[in-house]
Amino acid sequence: MAREAASIDASTFQFFTRNPRGGKAKALDPDDLNEFHRLADEFGIHGVLAHAPYTFNPASPVEKTAEFARTALAEDLERMEKTPGQMYNMHPGSAVGQSPEEAIDRIAVTLNEVLRPNHSTTFLLETMAGKGTEIGKTFEELARIIDRVELSDKIGVCMDTCHVWDAGYDIVGDLDEVLAEFDRVIGLTRLRAIHLNDSKNPCGSRKDRHAPIGEGHIGLEALLAVTRHPALSHLPFYLETPHDTLARYANEITLLRNA
């Protein structure tokens, strides 16, 4: 992955820790790890972001589902220590039948069980679109989770531009105000990564359908305003746009860098 990233002029990348819709993780191969460190050095790749599978729901009232999230999260966080100091991102979870308050409690309980003082990984909670009963559609919900986490110095937030837009934050009309609100509710120092995506739907649609950069309702100008904003320009940006070839991602990176 480091080689692929470098081939399209990327300086970082995101990867899934296991099948995004599945369960068991592949065994770690020490040769792969050594090769990763060598290539990352050679190509100047830093700050890679691991993404938890979508199937993790630590908010679930179904004990089997919550237990799977707990076990797999603990395992992922141990594995992350083979590449110390990176970031790990998770969708907070879905309430399915409970109040957001109960779901938030369960998420925090799980985080308190899996986070260890010796972990060097920064654990990111992603801003969500609010599809179904998703938690994380408001900055307040994320703040309430973070407030309940004991080792909260390890917690950061990953802002997904498609998700916040779909959740109703108008980053096209008033990015400054959205960031001011983020700062008031969560604190901008928690913001550690950006998922840079356009959206197939209007603001507040709660859909979560990503569009290629410049081909959705957010548009190229507003996304460039995100990458250039003084409060954000130092952050790593990750494309999660729907493309099936590496060449299209290369084009997007060129477009964003040279616009």
Active site residues: 21, 51, 54, 91, 126, 160, 163, 195, 208, 210, 240
Residues linked to residue 87 through DSSP beta bridges, in sequence order:
49, 122
Q: Is 166 among the residues that bind Zn ion (CB under 5 A)?
A: no
From the CB of 127, what's the least distance to Fe ion, in Å? Answer: 8
User: Tokens representing 4?
Assistant: 């692929």
From the CB of 29, what's the least distance to Fe ion, in Å? Answer: 26
Interaction mask 117-156, Fe ion, x per CB under 5 A: ---------x------------------------------
Distance CA 134, CA 57 (A): 10
Distance CA 213, CA 218 (A): 8
What is the SS3 assignment for 141?
A: helix
208 binds, among Fe ion, Zn ion, none (CB under 5 to 8 A by kind): Zn ion
Q: In terms of CB distance, is 110 or 197 closer to Zn ion?
A: 197
Q: In terms of CB distance, is 79 or 136 closer to Zn ion?
A: 136
From the CB of 117, what's the least distance to Fe ion, in Å? Answer: 27
Q: In terms of CB distance, is 167 or 172 closer to Zn ion?
A: 167
Interaction mask 178-217, Zn ion, x per CB under 5 A: ------------------------------x---------
Which residue has tokens 């919550």? 66
User: Tokens representing 204?
Assistant: 């507040």
Distance CA 197, CA 210 (A): 6
Q: In terms of CB distance, is 141 or 208 closer to Zn ion?
A: 208
Residues linked to residue 147 through DSSP beta bridges, in sequence order:
none
Sole binder of Fe ion in the list 106, 144, 195, 200 (CB under 5 A): 195
Residues linked to residue 88 through DSSP beta bridges, in sequence order:
50, 123
Please enumerate, as own/partner, the contacts of 220-223 that have beta carbons within 8 Å and a separation of 24 or more: 220/255, 220/259, 222/171, 222/172, 222/175, 223/161, 223/196, 223/198, 223/256
Sole binder of Fe ion in the list 76, 134, 160, 166 (CB under 5 A): 160
| Footprint on this chain of Fe ion (rule: CB under 5 A) | 126, 160, 195, 240
